[in-house]
Structure 1
Amino acid sequence: MSDIVKLDDFRPHFQATDPVTGSVHVLPVVLVSDMVYGRTKIDSIEEWQPMVRALLFALLQEVAG
């Protein structure tokens, strides 16, 4: 499930759970926006794969209702 959460620095963060591993990823909304619009450089796809999978799964859940 996805959610917008507030951490200690009070910036909005996006939280999503990887459906394969069950790991929870919490990222600044600004970073998620930069990823969507291609402004974030990805050095290693293996490093980003669980996070991207979690975000895509969360978005699909939102669309499906």
Structure 2
Amino acid sequence: MLYTHEILQLMRGLERDHPQRTVRARDIVKEMQIRHPSGTNSRFSYAIGDMVIRKLIERVGQGLYRIRK
């Protein structure tokens, strides 16, 4: 997927700020829009969903994700 590597790097950085090691999807989408202004919310959300299906990250609550260990 186009944004997978970059989203994983972004999540690693954002996880440091959260004690439960979770990241909000909206934080990922917001940061990706800054980095890629031509990208859309749905494109980044789709990338996150695809990463869950491929078991790179896991959903731990509504809008909350963490990198699978």
* Greater Rg over alpha carbons, structure: 1
TM-score normalised by length of structure 2:
0.32
Indicate the structure with greater helix content: 2
TM-score normalised by length of structure 1:
0.33
| Structure of greater relative contact order (alpha carbons < 8 Å, 6+ residues apart) | 2
